[in-house]
Chains A and B, each alone.
Chain A
Amino acid sequence: MKLLKKKNTSGSSFYSYSVGDKIADFIILALLALFAFTIIFPFYNMIILSLSDYASSSKTAMKLIPKDLSLVNYKIIFSDPKLLSSIYVSLFVTVVGVVMSMGTTILAGYALSRKSMPGRKWVMLFFIIPMFFSGGLIPWYLVVTNLGLNNSLWAIILPSIVNVFYVILMKNYFNTIPDSLLEAARMDGATEWQVLIRVVLPIAKPILATIALFLIVDKWNDWWTAKLFIQDSDKMPLQLLIRNVVIESSMDIGSEKAQAMKNSKVLLNPLGIQMASVVVATLPILFIYPLLQKHFSKGILLGSLKE
């Protein structure tokens, strides 16, 4: 038995690596390393720029090799109440949105996984149609404004509560839970709600974590609904604030503090200020990335994707 296992796992032992193979290995590793560098460097560059004041940004060589790092850009952006309020808005929208999405997705996923439900086929069709057809930008925009959601945070939260793709992932995972387990709980007199909460959800932790993490990323990164429906600057999520400051240049961040510094003859590094705000929006994603990676690399998502 042991012998057999060994033979299976080390299939490559049949094969002795030639010089050509080693050269090919080296070339592949070199190319992958090069690509990894092109991914990492822009991040490194962003961080260094965000930590450079005018003096170090004007000395060109400083940009590649850090020296005299300063937090002045961060002091400038955090002096602006707009940044803190936009972070608060983003957190609110993310937390409320994820909780509501998880609730509806779990319930719908569980119901759809029950094959005995009459009309299940039609309900499935009802869920799948929106994956292929939509009313389009204006009809959708008019529905949301007609609901009176204009300039309300609910305009950011409500339209994206149900993502059919996640409902189907959830349903597929629930389908893999053996029926006998649920049947046993039902025999003990549990209602379907109790079966869901006490039996199904504890087993389904991996998919719950995966979908929750994906929802967090989706909601944190969302800017489009805010762009369309939010006018007040104190209701602006972080992504939109950054878009306005960095990409559109239609807004300033920390301009009061910046002006005060200018008045006292301190030279500023505008690009550094912009990069500091981009770093602030990147950090939360960086923090949850290890968790994300743990889950998607398990292949849970992909396993269910194939169905």
Chain B
Amino acid sequence: MRSGNKKTKPLGQVITAVKKNKSFYFMLLPAVLFLLVFSYLPMFNLKSGGVLLAFKHYRFNTSFLDMEWVGLKWFVKLFNQNDFWRVLRNTLIISFGHLMISFPAPIILALMMNEVRREKVKRFFQTIFTFPNFLSWIIVAGILRGMLLTDGTINTVLAQMGMERVSFLTNLDWIRPIIFSSAVWKNVGWGTIIYLATIAGIDSSQYEAALIDGASRWQRIRYVTWPGIKGTATILLVLQVGSILNAGFDQIFQLTNDLNYKIVDILDIYLYKYAFGKGANYGLVTAAGLLKSVVNFSLLLTANHIVKKMGQESVL
């Protein structure tokens, strides 16, 4: 009855199938409506235009159709702005930092945790390491302030030892290391879970064979564990490459301030300021947002393609 594998089905048959599945379409309705309104309307709608706003001159209280087309004006304006190149540079530096630090960190931690033989000890560490993941960056920034402000604990200790206080959160030498290390602090434990699950899925006979062959601990990691998690690591790497222009708005929005913004503000912060700050320019922000998602998506496809060529499991 349910073998509808033929390419073209007669219309009557389709209608009966649709009728039979009527209740499923009703079940889809709420989710489809919400997606339509909050995901698809922003892509395109006649009232405010959606992404096409990138090519129009935005006017308040005017229908999208009555706004004047400006071609690539906002893209040109964007490229002519020194601030744009500055935040782009910051975005790339911070993203590459994350690729170098936040990406390998959970792999290393998972390999270390996997060497802990007692299950209870492993679970104890996992419990502690994973917790910060569930806090918002606002909370984490608050916790960081308790440690790092000039009247925070680290400075209290420094002062007690007769050293000078350091304003970590505004100091240009400190803020990027703080961004990288706090990202690891918050996310690494959660990141290890997927690797530990993958390691748990490795056939234990491989380890036994390695042991019989007299493989050392390092050799077992190198020749059994690592090949086992390489596929997972590649997928996560591809996904991270596909979000290079993001660089973590949630985190940086809590850590940027008047003294460090020059080396901290990333593209998304710049867009936020341009959207809701002085001299708001909706066309420019939409253009930059469009550019950002196009670049991110192309990078994702490119990385995916390279990975496929190398014969690895890929995302898409």
**Chain B residues within an 8 Å CB radius of A39:** 128-129, 131-132, 185, 189
Chain A, interface SS category? helix
Q: Do B126 and A158 touch across chains, with their CB atoms under 8 A apart?
A: no
Q: How far is the CB of A92 from chain B (nearest CB, A)?
A: 18
CB < 8 Å: which of A12, A31, A45, A107 contacts B28? A107
Q: Assess the B146–A305 pair: CB atoms within 8 A.
A: no
Q: B167 at the A/B interface (Cβ < 8 Å)? A: no
Q: Taking the complex as formed, is B50 at the interface, i.e. its CB lies under 8 A from any CB of chain A?
A: yes
Residues of A near B128 (CB, < 8 A) are 36, 39-40
Docked complex: A142-193 residues within 8 A CB-CB of B: 142-144, 146-147, 158-159, 161-162, 164, 167, 191-193
How long is the Cα–Cα vector from A40 to B143 in the complex, in angstroms? 11
Instruction: Report whether A221 and B135 are in contact in the complex, using a CB–CB cutoff of 8 Å.
Output: yes
How big is the B interface, by class? 35 or more
Which of B28, B149, B285 has a CB less than 8 Å from the CB of A271?
B149
What is the minimal beta-carbon distance from B23 to any residue of chain A, in angstroms? 4
B122 → chain A closest CB, angstroms: 9
Interface string of B108-137 (1 = CB under 8 A from A): 010011011100010101111111101110
| A136-B47 contact, Cβ under 8 Å, with A104-B34, A118-B14 | no
Residues of A within 8 A of B141 (CB): 246-247
- Complex Cα distance, B250 from A98, in Å, reads 22
Residues from chain A with a CB closer than 8 A to the CB of B49 are 139
Complex alpha-carbon distance, A146 and B286, angstroms: 17
Q: Does B297 contact A (CB under 8 A)?
A: yes
Top-7 shortest CB links A-B? A135-B42, A136-B289, A108-B31, A278-B142, A221-B136, A130-B39, A142-B48
B interface residues (Cβ-Cβ under 8 A, vs A)? 2, 4, 14, 17-18, 20-21, 23-25, 27-28, 30-32, 34-35, 37-45, 47-51, 53, 109, 112-113, 115-117, 121, 123, 125-132, 134-136, 138-139, 141-147, 149, 151-153, 156-157, 159-160, 185, 189, 193-194, 197, 200, 204, 207-208, 211-212, 217, 250, 254, 271-272, 275-276, 282, 285-286, 289-290, 292-293, 297
Pairs A–B under 8 Å by Cβ, sample size 20: A42-B146, A60-B159, A63-B153, A103-B30, A107-B27, A107-B30, A108-B28, A110-B27, A116-B20, A123-B28, A133-B293, A137-B289, A139-B48, A221-B135, A242-B142, A271-B149, A281-B142, A282-B135, A302-B197, A303-B197
Which residues in A have some Cβ–Cβ distance to B below 8 Å?
8, 11-12, 14-15, 21, 24-25, 28-29, 31-32, 35-36, 38-40, 42-43, 45-46, 49, 60-61, 63-64, 103-105, 107-108, 110-112, 114, 116-119, 123, 126-127, 129-130, 132-144, 146-147, 158-159, 161-162, 164, 167, 191-193, 196, 217, 221-224, 228, 239, 242-243, 246-247, 271, 274-275, 277-278, 281-282, 285-286, 289, 292-293, 296-297, 299, 302-303, 305
